């Protein structure tokens, strides 16, 4: 009888140990960390590049330069458009200029770079914001095109001139307070878009004041 009880105790212990082992194995399977996914590629190019790194890479490929030789300064930026300046080391005449870039299918493309005129035919396919490229040269008419002025008129505004602060250029954002609030001695005549009494020009088009409150 004592032998039987000893055997039963051993069997119970073995069963308990087996249950514990199975439970531990099951927990490892259930809570196993998911494998790290590799960054997705966009258009066959490396993902997760910053705008500056992406533009540097484009210039390096175009002009056969090292990334360390290129300095980028972005002056205007939206989700799909960039405007800025580029400089190639070691510097000197002809080593710097402006650039325009647009995002196409998730990848940045250099649309223009240099110090010359910007042709309308170059930027029109990309639909650059008018406050980023205010003027371009029309090859058909052989005259400059006032893109911002066109946007003003097309949205119901009228082009006129007004005294605005010395630091303010043509077609300022009149939905903001300040561009034309300086004294006459600190102001100069510039082009503005007059949208009437119920709208203001935001740099791209005339918009109702009511929309600004939303």
Same domain as 205, residue 153: yes
**Does residue 129 sit within a domain?**
no
pLDDT attached to residue 38: 43
Dihedral (Cα; 145, 151, 156, 157), 10-degree rounding: -70
Q: Domain boundary at 116, 139, 160, which?
A: 116
pLDDT attached to residue 37: 42
Query: What's the domain range around 175?
Result: 147-212
pLDDT attached to residue 26: 54
Q: Domain boundary at 116, 139, 157, which?
A: 116
Which parts of the chain sit beneath pLDDT 70? 1-49, 214
**Does residue 33 sit within a domain?**
no
**Does residue 207 sit within a domain?**
yes
pLDDT attached to residue 23: 58
Q: CA-based angle 41:99:140, to the nearest 5?
A: 110
* DSSP secondary structure code for residue 133 in this structure: S
CATH number of the domain residue 55 falls in: 3.10.450
* Tens-digit pLDDT profile for residues 16-28: 665 665 556 555 5
pLDDT attached to residue 3: 45
Q: Domain boundary at 116, 133, 168, which?
A: 116
pLDDT attached to residue 122: 96
* Tens-digit pLDDT profile for residues 123-156: 999 999 999 999 999 999 999 999 999 999 999 9
Q: How far apart are CA 203 and CA 214, in angstroms?
A: 18
**Does residue 130 sit within a domain?**
no
Residue 155 neighbours by CB under 8 Å, 6+ apart? 195, 205, 206, 207
**Does residue 39 sit within a domain?**
no
pLDDT attached to residue 34: 47
Same domain as 161, residue 205: yes
**Does residue 154 sit within a domain?**
yes
- Counted domains in the chain: 2
**Does residue 195 sit within a domain?**
yes
Token pair for residue 190? 């510039």
């Amino acid at each position: 009888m004592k032998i039987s009880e000893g055997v039963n105790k051993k069997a119970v212990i073995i069963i308990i140990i087996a249950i514990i082992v199975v439970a531990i194995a099951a927990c490892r399977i259930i809570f196993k960390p998911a494998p790290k996914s590799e960054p997705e590629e966009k258009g066959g190019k490396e993902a997760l590049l910053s705008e500056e790194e992406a533009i540097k890479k484009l210039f390096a490929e175009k002009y056969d330069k090292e990334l360390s030789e290129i300095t980028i300064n972005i002056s205007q930026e939206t989700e799909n458009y960039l405007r800025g300046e580029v400089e190639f080391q070691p510097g000197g005449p002809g080593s710097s200029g402006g650039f325009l870039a647009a995002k196409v299918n998730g990848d940045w493309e250099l649309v223009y770079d240099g110090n010359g005129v910007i042709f309308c035919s170059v930027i029109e396919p990309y639909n650059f914001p008018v406050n980023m490229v205010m003027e371009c040269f029309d090859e058909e008419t052989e005259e400059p095109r006032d893109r911002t002025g066109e946007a003003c008129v097309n949205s119901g505004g009228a082009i006129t001139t007004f005294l605005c602060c010395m630091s303010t250029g043509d077609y300022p954002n009149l939905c903001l307070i300040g561009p034309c609030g300086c004294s006459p001695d600190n102001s100069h005549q510039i082009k503005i878009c007059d949208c009437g009494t119920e709208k203001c020009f935001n740099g791209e088009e005339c918009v109702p004041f009511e929309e600004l409150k939303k």
